[in-house]
Amino acid sequence: MIVGIDDIGMFKVFFDVVFEECDTVELKCNPSAMELSLLDKSHTCFYSIRYDSSFFDLYDVDDVEIVSLFIEDVVKILKTAGKNDYLTLSSDESRVVAKFEHENNTRVFELVQPADFDESPTPPSIGTSCNVRFSIDDLNQSLKDFDIFKSGSCHLYCEDGLLSFTSKDDASMKYSHRIECDAQGVGDAYYTVDYLKNIVKFKKVDKKVTFKFGDTLPLVWEVKDNHISIKGLIAPRIESDD
Protein backbone atom coordinates (compact mmCIF):
# COMPACT_ATOMS: atom_id res chain seq x y z
CA MET A 1 0.00 0.00 0.00
CA ILE A 2 1.22 3.48 -0.94
CA VAL A 3 -1.12 6.48 -0.69
CA GLY A 4 -0.36 10.16 -1.09
CA ILE A 5 -2.41 12.86 0.64
CA ASP A 6 -2.34 16.56 -0.16
CA ASP A 7 -5.34 17.59 2.00
CA ILE A 8 -4.02 16.33 5.34
CA GLY A 9 -6.47 18.50 7.27
CA MET A 10 -9.47 16.74 5.75
CA PHE A 11 -7.85 13.32 6.18
CA LYS A 12 -7.24 13.79 9.90
CA VAL A 13 -10.58 15.32 10.94
CA PHE A 14 -12.00 11.87 11.68
CA PHE A 15 -9.03 10.89 13.84
CA ASP A 16 -9.20 14.17 15.77
CA VAL A 17 -12.76 13.36 16.83
CA VAL A 18 -12.55 9.66 17.70
CA PHE A 19 -8.99 9.13 18.95
CA GLU A 20 -10.12 8.82 22.59
CA GLU A 21 -12.77 6.24 21.74
CA CYS A 22 -10.49 3.31 20.92
CA ASP A 23 -6.85 2.24 21.41
CA THR A 24 -6.19 0.74 17.98
CA VAL A 25 -7.71 1.07 14.55
CA GLU A 26 -7.67 -0.93 11.31
CA LEU A 27 -7.35 0.67 7.91
CA LYS A 28 -8.92 -1.64 5.35
CA CYS A 29 -7.54 -0.75 1.94
CA ASN A 30 -8.82 -2.11 -1.35
CA PRO A 31 -8.37 -0.86 -4.93
CA SER A 32 -11.40 1.46 -4.69
CA ALA A 33 -11.27 2.89 -1.14
CA MET A 34 -9.71 3.06 2.31
CA GLU A 35 -12.22 2.21 5.05
CA LEU A 36 -12.08 2.03 8.82
CA SER A 37 -14.55 1.50 11.64
CA LEU A 38 -14.48 1.42 15.42
CA LEU A 39 -16.72 0.96 18.43
CA ASP A 40 -16.28 3.30 21.38
CA LYS A 41 -15.19 1.91 24.74
CA SER A 42 -18.68 2.17 26.24
CA HIS A 43 -20.17 0.31 23.25
CA THR A 44 -22.63 3.20 22.79
CA CYS A 45 -21.45 4.61 19.47
CA PHE A 46 -20.14 3.01 16.28
CA TYR A 47 -18.16 5.04 13.72
CA SER A 48 -17.12 4.24 10.17
CA ILE A 49 -15.44 6.24 7.43
CA ARG A 50 -14.75 5.63 3.77
CA TYR A 51 -12.16 7.56 1.77
CA ASP A 52 -12.74 6.88 -1.92
CA SER A 53 -9.56 6.36 -3.93
CA SER A 54 -10.35 9.68 -5.66
CA PHE A 55 -9.74 11.50 -2.35
CA PHE A 56 -6.04 10.69 -2.55
CA ASP A 57 -3.50 12.27 -4.88
CA LEU A 58 -1.71 8.91 -5.09
CA TYR A 59 -3.49 5.62 -4.46
CA ASP A 60 -1.55 2.45 -5.18
CA VAL A 61 -3.41 -0.51 -3.67
CA ASP A 62 -3.52 -3.66 -5.79
CA ASP A 63 -5.38 -5.97 -3.42
CA VAL A 64 -7.16 -5.97 -0.06
CA GLU A 65 -4.73 -4.97 2.68
CA ILE A 66 -5.37 -4.37 6.38
CA VAL A 67 -3.13 -1.97 8.29
CA SER A 68 -3.42 -1.71 12.08
CA LEU A 69 -2.30 1.34 14.05
CA PHE A 70 -2.26 2.78 17.55
CA ILE A 71 -4.75 5.58 16.99
CA GLU A 72 -3.18 7.95 19.54
CA ASP A 73 0.17 7.74 17.73
CA VAL A 74 -1.52 8.55 14.41
CA VAL A 75 -3.14 11.67 15.87
CA LYS A 76 0.13 12.91 17.36
CA ILE A 77 1.95 12.52 14.05
CA LEU A 78 -0.80 14.11 11.94
CA LYS A 79 -0.75 17.14 14.23
CA THR A 80 2.85 17.83 13.18
CA ALA A 81 1.79 18.38 9.55
CA GLY A 82 2.67 21.77 8.09
CA LYS A 83 0.19 23.74 6.02
CA ASN A 84 1.89 22.83 2.74
CA ASP A 85 3.13 19.35 3.62
CA TYR A 86 2.43 16.34 1.41
CA LEU A 87 1.87 13.07 3.27
CA THR A 88 2.74 9.61 1.95
CA LEU A 89 1.66 6.48 3.84
CA SER A 90 3.17 3.10 3.00
CA SER A 91 3.23 -0.24 4.79
CA ASP A 92 4.89 -3.59 5.08
CA GLU A 93 3.98 -6.54 7.31
CA SER A 94 5.06 -4.94 10.59
CA ARG A 95 5.40 -1.18 10.06
CA VAL A 96 3.67 1.82 8.57
CA VAL A 97 5.81 4.68 7.29
CA ALA A 98 4.44 8.23 7.32
CA LYS A 99 6.51 10.66 5.25
CA PHE A 100 5.90 14.43 5.23
CA GLU A 101 7.46 16.40 2.37
CA HIS A 102 7.65 20.10 1.58
CA GLU A 103 10.15 21.43 -0.96
CA ASN A 104 13.54 20.03 0.17
CA ASN A 105 12.33 19.12 3.67
CA THR A 106 11.41 15.49 4.43
CA ARG A 107 10.33 14.03 7.78
CA VAL A 108 9.72 10.30 8.29
CA PHE A 109 7.89 8.47 11.09
CA GLU A 110 7.92 4.68 11.36
CA LEU A 111 4.97 3.17 13.24
CA VAL A 112 4.90 -0.37 14.56
CA GLN A 113 1.68 -2.21 13.78
CA PRO A 114 0.19 -3.63 17.01
CA ALA A 115 0.17 -7.40 17.12
CA ASP A 116 -3.04 -7.55 19.22
CA PHE A 117 -5.09 -4.94 17.41
CA ASP A 118 -8.84 -4.67 17.90
CA GLU A 119 -10.58 -6.13 14.88
CA SER A 120 -12.90 -3.66 13.16
CA PRO A 121 -16.50 -4.16 14.26
CA THR A 122 -19.39 -4.69 11.90
CA PRO A 123 -22.47 -2.53 12.45
CA PRO A 124 -25.86 -4.23 12.75
CA SER A 125 -28.45 -3.81 10.04
CA ILE A 126 -31.23 -1.59 11.38
CA GLY A 127 -34.60 -0.75 9.91
CA THR A 128 -35.63 2.81 10.79
CA SER A 129 -38.93 4.66 10.37
CA CYS A 130 -37.68 8.25 10.04
CA ASN A 131 -35.28 9.94 7.60
CA VAL A 132 -34.33 13.61 7.98
CA ARG A 133 -31.58 15.84 6.55
CA PHE A 134 -30.82 19.20 8.13
CA SER A 135 -28.11 21.76 8.88
CA ILE A 136 -25.26 20.93 11.25
CA ASP A 137 -25.42 24.58 12.37
CA ASP A 138 -28.98 23.97 13.58
CA LEU A 139 -27.84 20.86 15.43
CA ASN A 140 -25.01 22.83 17.02
CA GLN A 141 -27.42 25.56 18.19
CA SER A 142 -29.63 23.00 19.92
CA LEU A 143 -26.72 21.32 21.67
CA LYS A 144 -25.34 24.66 22.88
CA ASP A 145 -28.76 25.43 24.35
CA PHE A 146 -28.81 22.03 26.04
CA ASP A 147 -25.66 23.00 27.93
CA ILE A 148 -27.78 25.47 29.90
CA PHE A 149 -29.53 22.52 31.51
CA LYS A 150 -26.42 20.34 31.98
CA SER A 151 -28.58 17.65 30.42
CA GLY A 152 -27.00 14.34 29.44
CA SER A 153 -29.74 13.35 27.02
CA CYS A 154 -31.77 14.85 24.22
CA HIS A 155 -35.26 13.85 23.10
CA LEU A 156 -35.55 13.71 19.30
CA TYR A 157 -38.99 13.65 17.74
CA CYS A 158 -39.83 13.86 14.06
CA GLU A 159 -43.24 14.02 12.40
CA ASP A 160 -44.88 15.91 9.49
CA GLY A 161 -41.61 17.38 8.23
CA LEU A 162 -40.63 18.79 11.64
CA LEU A 163 -37.65 17.71 13.74
CA SER A 164 -37.80 18.61 17.43
CA PHE A 165 -35.09 18.67 20.09
CA THR A 166 -36.52 18.73 23.62
CA SER A 167 -34.99 18.68 27.10
CA LYS A 168 -36.39 16.75 30.03
CA ASP A 169 -38.71 18.63 32.36
CA ASP A 170 -36.81 20.83 34.80
CA ALA A 171 -38.08 22.40 38.01
CA SER A 172 -37.73 25.89 36.53
CA MET A 173 -37.80 25.59 32.74
CA LYS A 174 -37.89 23.32 29.70
CA TYR A 175 -36.26 23.79 26.28
CA SER A 176 -37.48 22.83 22.83
CA HIS A 177 -36.18 23.57 19.32
CA ARG A 178 -38.25 22.78 16.23
CA ILE A 179 -36.74 22.69 12.74
CA GLU A 180 -38.64 22.60 9.46
CA CYS A 181 -36.64 20.39 7.09
CA ASP A 182 -36.70 17.60 4.54
CA ALA A 183 -38.09 14.79 6.67
CA GLN A 184 -40.08 11.62 6.09
CA GLY A 185 -41.63 9.31 8.67
CA VAL A 186 -41.91 9.38 12.44
CA GLY A 187 -39.14 8.94 14.99
CA ASP A 188 -39.14 9.24 18.78
CA ALA A 189 -36.17 8.45 21.05
CA TYR A 190 -33.58 9.83 23.51
CA TYR A 191 -29.84 10.03 22.70
CA THR A 192 -26.74 11.09 24.61
CA VAL A 193 -25.85 14.75 24.08
CA ASP A 194 -22.07 14.21 24.08
CA TYR A 195 -22.27 11.79 21.14
CA LEU A 196 -24.47 14.21 19.22
CA LYS A 197 -21.86 16.94 19.82
CA ASN A 198 -19.25 14.83 18.03
CA ILE A 199 -21.30 15.11 14.83
CA VAL A 200 -20.85 18.89 14.85
CA LYS A 201 -17.07 18.41 14.60
CA PHE A 202 -17.51 16.88 11.13
CA LYS A 203 -18.94 20.07 9.63
CA LYS A 204 -15.71 20.43 7.66
CA VAL A 205 -16.81 17.40 5.62
CA ASP A 206 -20.48 18.36 5.10
CA LYS A 207 -22.66 21.31 6.17
CA LYS A 208 -25.65 19.00 6.56
CA VAL A 209 -26.23 15.72 8.36
CA THR A 210 -28.70 12.91 7.68
CA PHE A 211 -30.48 11.29 10.64
CA LYS A 212 -32.30 7.97 10.47
CA PHE A 213 -34.02 6.68 13.59
CA GLY A 214 -37.28 5.34 15.00
CA ASP A 215 -39.09 4.73 18.25
CA THR A 216 -36.43 3.63 20.79
CA LEU A 217 -34.11 2.65 17.92
CA PRO A 218 -30.43 3.56 17.41
CA LEU A 219 -29.72 6.82 15.59
CA VAL A 220 -27.92 6.31 12.28
CA TRP A 221 -26.28 9.50 10.98
CA GLU A 222 -24.10 10.38 7.99
CA VAL A 223 -22.06 13.30 6.68
CA LYS A 224 -20.38 13.09 3.29
CA ASP A 225 -18.84 14.95 0.38
CA ASN A 226 -17.85 13.69 -3.06
CA HIS A 227 -14.90 11.66 -1.74
CA ILE A 228 -15.54 10.98 1.98
CA SER A 229 -18.40 9.35 3.85
CA ILE A 230 -18.56 9.33 7.67
CA LYS A 231 -21.30 7.35 9.39
CA GLY A 232 -22.24 6.82 13.01
CA LEU A 233 -24.66 4.73 14.99
CA ILE A 234 -25.68 5.90 18.48
CA ALA A 235 -27.54 3.57 20.83
CA PRO A 236 -30.73 5.05 22.30
CA ARG A 237 -30.54 6.29 25.85
CA ILE A 238 -32.91 4.49 28.20
CA GLU A 239 -34.83 7.11 30.18
CA SER A 240 -36.40 6.52 33.58
CA ASP A 241 -38.57 8.52 35.97
CA ASP A 242 -35.78 8.70 38.58
Q: 110-115 — which CB contacts under 8 Å span 24+ positions?
A: 111/69, 111/70, 111/73, 111/74, 111/77, 113/67, 113/68, 113/69, 114/24, 114/68, 114/69, 114/70
- CATH code for position 47: 3.10.150.10
Taking the model in full, what pTM does it have?
A: 0.89
Count: domains in the chain: 2
In a domain, 124, yes or no: no
In a shared domain, residues 26 and 102: yes
In a shared domain, residues 167 and 208: yes
In a domain, 118, yes or no: no
pLDDT tens-digit series, residues 208-240: 999 999 998 999 999 999 999 999 999 998 765
Q: Domain residues for 103?
A: 2-112
In a shared domain, residues 71 and 145: no
pLDDT tens-digit series, residues 168-211: 766 677 889 999 998 899 999 999 999 999 999 999 999 999 99
